[in-house]
Amino acid sequence: MPFLLLTADNSVKTCPIEIASYDYTKGWEDAMVQLGWKAGPEQYAPVELLEYAIAADKAGFDLLDVSDHFHPWSEAGQCPFSWTWLGAAAVQTSKIRLGTGVTCPIERYHPAIIAQATATVSCFAPGRTYLGVGTGEALNEYPVTGKWPDYEERLERMEEAIRLIRDLWSGQKVSFDGKYYQTHKAKLYTLPASPLPIYISALAPHRARFAGKYGDGLFTVGGKKPEVYRQMIKNFEDGARKAGKDPSHMPRLIELNVAYTENIDAAIQEQIKYWAGTYIPALFNQKIYTPTMSQENGEAVGPETIKQTGCFSSNPDEHIQFIQQYIELGFDVIIFHSPGPDQSTFIEHYSRDILPKVRTMTPSQPVASSP
């Protein structure tokens, strides 16, 4: 359907494109790959995290993603409201693209609220806003709703939520009668300032087809074997083609754990202290719903596990080689997650030593669809 945009003088105009055919890579032509910074509200207080976002913008990172949690992964962590934080980041930055990495618009949030929230952020950061979505974790949904549906139901909810969000972004009155969500002449009176892409999370190859079919891009995390990503991207592209879309115009985002420091032991301890739960697959599908439960499960994670899934080194060449393997697999948006111990120094040194050398790399072309 046509997309309505809110202009600077508060008038409304019809965007001369269709959502489904919009090239969300427009404006990225100057770089072969896009390089992002992970904002971790599960670790940092909101004002401190905002200072790092401002530094990342000034340092030349192209994109940031921020988690959207109700609970952190550890009792030692923080957990501010990411949508408030995004509004602050939007007005305090000028170039960096920003959005959720990722939010779950199916349980503790009604999809209409996420449609409204993203539209509002885009008014502060026109042309710089995206929406990353996933099926969530019990850690964030169960404590406030008492519900944790099985994966198949969550996937059904996601498909319905995406349709409703896009319907509301059209600026029309929406009476939606779905299996899980209903609206009655609901309308967004503050419209997006620019078309908003939806990037869908997939942590396993068979789930990537859904992202290709219903999303505008793929969002995943690093640390798995290359064949996993080859199959993931193939499924993503197959899903996109079957939906009539060109996967070459659909970003493939991946979040990588890195530490660029002489103090590798301290960096690994920060990973374990705040993020060990993210290394446990059960956290993403079982009813593990408190930071204490996450932390207890994360006790099985040791330094060697951390090292095997990321790049923890003071040698810039090792980082470049590590990143290159993901670019060669076909990822064109690489987001770096470095939990510490010194975030400011990481942003400064990584942007100086690593980003310029990576920008000229060329992602793999989309694979041919299967017969």
Top pLDDT among 29 and 295 is at 295
* Per-residue model confidence (pLDDT) at position 73: 98
* Per-residue model confidence (pLDDT) at position 313: 97
CB 354 within 8 A of CB 319: yes
Residue 189 in 3-state DSSP? coil
Question: What is the mean pLDDT of the segment spanning 130-135?
Answer: 98
Active site residue 206: no
Q: In this predicted model, what pLDDT tens digit does every residue of 51-88 receive, in sequence order?
A: 999 999 999 999 999 999 999 999 999 999 999 999 99
CB 260 within 8 A of CB 230: no
Top pLDDT among 305 and 9 is at 305
Q: What is the mean pLDDT of the chain?
A: 92
CB 211 within 8 A of CB 239: yes
Active site residue 299: no
* Per-residue model confidence (pLDDT) at position 340: 85
**Token digits of residue 281:** 């697959």
Length of the chain: 371
**Token digits of residue 200:** 């869908």
Catalytic residue among 42, 107, 137, 160: 137
* Per-residue model confidence (pLDDT) at position 31: 54
CB 261 within 8 A of CB 342: yes
Q: State the Cα–Cα distance between residues 40 and 50, nearest whole angstrom.
A: 10
The pLDDT-based confidence of 23 (bands split at 50, 70, 90) is low
Where do the structural domains in the chain lie, given as residue ranges? 25-358
Amino acid at 71: H
The pLDDT-based confidence of 117 (bands split at 50, 70, 90) is very high
Which among 130, 60, 117 is positioned nearest to 93, based on CA atoms? 60
Give strand ranges (E) for the chain.
2-6, 12-18, 34-39, 63-66, 97-100, 129-133, 198-201, 217-221, 252-259, 311-312, 333-337
Q: In this predicted model, what pLDDT tens digit does every residue of 221-260 receive, in sequence order?
A: 999 999 999 999 999 999 999 999 999 999 999 999 999 9
What's the CATH code, domain 25-358?
3.20.20.30
Q: State the Cα–Cα distance between residues 84 and 86, nearest whole angstrom.
A: 5
The pLDDT-based confidence of 26 (bands split at 50, 70, 90) is low
Catalytic residue among 69, 110, 319, 337: 69
- Tokens 């446990």: give the residue: 280
* Per-residue model confidence (pLDDT) at position 60: 98
Q: In this predicted model, what pLDDT tens digit does every residue of 223-234 receive, in sequence order?
A: 999 999 999 999
